[in-house]
Chains A and B, each alone.
Chain A
Amino acid sequence: MKSFTPDILRIKNPEALTDKICQKLKEDVFRRFRRKGGVVGISGGIDSSVTLALAARALGSERVVGVLLPEKDSSPDSKALALKLADKYGVQTVEENISDALSGFGCYTRRDEAVKRIVPEYNPATDKMKIVIPKELLEQNLPPVFYVTVIFQDGSEISRRLSPDAYLQIVAASNFKQRSRMAMLYYHAEARYYAVIGTPNKHEVKQGFFVKFGDGGADMMPIGNLYKTQVYQLAEFLEVPREIIERTPTTDTYTAEQTQEEFFYQLPFEKMDLLWFAWENGYPADEVAKVVEMSEENVKKSFANFERKLKTTEYLRAKPLHDYDFWKP
C-alpha cells in the first residue's frame, strides 16, 4: 500500500481525469440513456460549478442548461455567481424561483412552527434560524445532536436542543427545498429530452449529506467519487471563476448563513478528505495521525464516526426495493 502522505489525494493529471469523466458522462447521457443533453442545477457553489463545467465540456455547451433555483432563503450572492459561471462556459440558463411552490407545500410555515415549539420568541418575519451542532459536542464519539439557533433582529442569539419531533419536522419541511428543485430540474430535462446531471460529491454521497430524491435524485453524478479537495483541484483546472472557488461552502438551506463544516462535516475539508481516504483504505490511525496533525485517539474517533455515518445513512443511498419477487406462474 502506498505510504500515507498529505498529498496522497492530489490528482496528478487533472486533464486526463477530466477527460475520463467527460468521456463517461458523454457515453451515459447520449448512448446509455439516449438523451439529447443535460440540465444542471447551479447554485454558485463549487460542486454544481464543477459539474456544469464538466457537462459543458462533455456534451457541448449548447446541449447543457444551467437551472437557477432560488427561494426566499437563498443567499443573494448565489444568483450572480451562477450567472457568471454559465456565462464562462457559454451555457444557457433558466431561473425558476421556487418560493411559491415551497409556500404551497407549507415548507416555511411547517418549519417555523416547529422552531417556535422550541424557541417561542422566534419571529420568522424578522429573525433568522439555523440548525447547528454545538462545537463542544463535535469531539464526542456520538452521533450529532442538533440544536436550533435563532438569531434575533437585534443580533442576539439563542440555541436550544431540539426535541425529536421538532427536529424531524424542521428537516422534513426543509427537504421540500431540495425535492422541489429536483422536480423542477426534471421538468426542464424532460421538456428537452435531457438528463438531470446531479452535483453531489463523494462525501455527500457516502456520508449521507443529501436529500433522498432531492439533490440525491439525478440520472448520474459525475463528481460523486471525488473528494472535496479533488473537486477544488478540478475547479482550478477547469478555470471555474475565482469567486466561486474562494467562497466558503454553505448549506444555503436555512435563513441564517451556515457553513457545511458547521452543519454536517465537523472537520475542515482538507482533513476530512485525508481521514476518509485513510479509513476507507485501511491506513493505521498512528500513521494517519502524524500526517493530519491530530492525536491518534481523535483519528480513531473520526474513523468510528465515518463507520457510523456510512451505516446509518444506508437508507438514503438505497434504491427503492422491488425484490418482492414472490409470484410464480
Chain B
Amino acid sequence: MEIMTIKKEEIKAFIAETSFTEMDEIKDDTMLFEEGIFDSMGLLNLIAFLEENYGIKTADTDLVEENFQNLNAIEKFVASKMQ
C-alpha cells in the first residue's frame, strides 16, 4: 500500500512538472484532460514516463479514459499492469 502511495506522488510530481501546474492543484480525482492540465503531448509523455519508470507496456487497448483520467485511475492502471 505504501509503495502505491509513493508511486502516486511520483506520478503527481511528474504531471506537475511537465504541465507547469502546482502540486497542490492536482488532487487524486482532478480530471487531468477535462481541466486542461494535459493535452495530447501530456498523455504521450505520461505514457512514456509510466513505461520507463514502472517497466510496464501500454497496449493500444489500454488507451481509455478510465485508465488515465485522473491520478486514482492512473495508479489503478499501473498497479494492474504490474501484477
Report A's interface with B, CB cutoff 8 A.
134, 136-137, 140-146, 161-164, 167-168, 304, 307-308, 311-312
Interface residues of B in 42-66 (CB under 8 A from A): 42-45, 47-48, 60-61, 63-65
Instruction: Return chain B residues, CB-CB under 8 Å to A134.
Output: 60
Q: Which of B34, B38, B48, B60 contacts A307 (CB 8 A)?
A: B34
Are A145 and B36 touching (Cβ within 8 A)? no
CB proximity of A264 to chain B, nearest CB, Å: 11
Name 7 interchain pairs, CB-CB below 8 A, sorted by A.
A143-B38, A143-B43, A145-B43, A163-B48, A307-B34, A308-B39, A312-B40
What CA separation (Å) do A308 and B65 show in the bound complex?
Answer: 14
Residue in chain A with minimal CB distance to B64: A140
Instruction: Return chain B residues, CB-CB under 8 Å to A162.
Output: 44
What CA separation (Å) do A142 and B64 show in the bound complex?
Answer: 7
Known A-B contacts A143-B39, A145-B43, A168-B41; A308 and B60 likewise in contact (beta carbons under 8 Å)? no
What CA separation (Å) do A134 and B62 show in the bound complex?
Answer: 13
Q: Is B33 an interface residue (CB 8 A)?
A: yes
Q: A142-B65, A312-B36 are in contact. List 5 more A-B contacts (CB 8 A).
A: A141-B34, A142-B33, A142-B63, A143-B39, A143-B40
Are B34 and A304 touching (Cβ within 8 A)? yes
CB proximity of B37 to chain A, nearest CB, Å: 9
Mask: chain B, 16-50; 1 = CB below 8 Å from A; 0 = not = 00000000000000000110101111111101100
CB proximity of B29 to chain A, nearest CB, Å: 15
Residue in chain A with minimal CB distance to B61: A136
Instruction: Return chain A residues, CB-CB under 8 Å to B36.
Output: 308, 311-312
CB proximity of A102 to chain B, nearest CB, Å: 24
What CA separation (Å) do A215 and B68 show in the bound complex?
Answer: 33
Instruction: Return chain A residues, CB-CB under 8 Å to B39.
Output: 143, 308, 312
Instruction: Return chain B residues, CB-CB under 8 Å to A146.
Output: 40, 44
Are A163 and B60 touching (Cβ within 8 A)? no
Are A308 and B34 touching (Cβ within 8 A)? yes
What CA separation (Å) do A168 and B39 show in the bound complex?
Answer: 13
Report B's interface with A, CB cutoff 8 A.
33-34, 36, 38-45, 47-48, 60-61, 63-65, 68-69
What CA separation (Å) do A168 and B48 show in the bound complex?
Answer: 14
Known A-B contacts A137-B63, A140-B63; A164 and B44 likewise in contact (beta carbons under 8 Å)? yes
Instruction: Return chain B residues, CB-CB under 8 Å to A304.
Output: 34
CB proximity of A67 to chain B, nearest CB, Å: 31
10 closest A-B pairs by CB? A311-B36, A312-B39, A143-B40, A164-B44, A141-B65, A143-B39, A164-B45, A143-B43, A144-B40, A140-B65
What CA separation (Å) do A168 and B40 show in the bound complex?
Answer: 11
Known A-B contacts A134-B60, A136-B60, A140-B63; A308 and B33 likewise in contact (beta carbons under 8 Å)? yes
What CA separation (Å) do A164 and B39 show in the bound complex?
Answer: 12
What CA separation (Å) do A177 and B79 show in the bound complex?
Answer: 43
Instruction: Return chain B residues, CB-CB under 8 Å to A161.
Output: 60
Are B43 and A142 touching (Cβ within 8 A)? yes
CB proximity of A161 to chain B, nearest CB, Å: 7
Are B40 and A145 touching (Cβ within 8 A)? yes
Residue in chain B with minimal CB distance to A163: B48
Instruction: Return chain B residues, CB-CB under 8 Å to A168.
Output: 41
CB proximity of B19 to chain A, nearest CB, Å: 11
CB proximity of A144 to chain B, nearest CB, Å: 5
CB proximity of B35 to chain A, nearest CB, Å: 8
Instruction: Return chain A residues, CB-CB under 8 Å to B42.
Output: 143
Residue in chain A with minimal CB distance to B51: A163
CB proximity of B2 to chain A, nearest CB, Å: 30
